[in-house]
Structure 1
Amino acid sequence: MCRDSPLFDFIENCMRNKHEMVVYEAASAIVNLPNCTAKELAPAVSVLQLFCSSPKAALRYAAVRTLNK
């Protein structure tokens, strides 16, 4: 389903949203997609790594939990 799907494009565009929760949910959705390549996962992992240094504890916790999957 990954790279050539319009749904994947929509989720990838959601990672550029100004709201942190929308960005987190989009990154989490990409991480949970089956049959994705490392190239397709890279933007989501990068966003989650950035969230690990967030001043908000809930965002850090969510990012670490998602990265552990």
Structure 2
Amino acid sequence: MPTLKTKIKEYRENAMMKQNELAQLVGVRRETIVHLENGKYNPSLKLAMDIARIFDATVEELFEFKD
């Protein structure tokens, strides 16, 4: 079963942004960002697009399914 890999932490740290700041910008709790960064949560398409927009990136740049 493929797993979702994310570069959210990398992009967030490069932007010098804290988890709670990103969470506020996209309207979720900080714990959701933690779970996303740890690969324990698959985001909705809307959330993935909102996060990508924050970092001026594409969804494909931030998220990837790996076997």
TM-score (normalizing by structure 1): 0.28
More helix by share: 1
More strand by share: 2
Larger Rg belongs to = 1
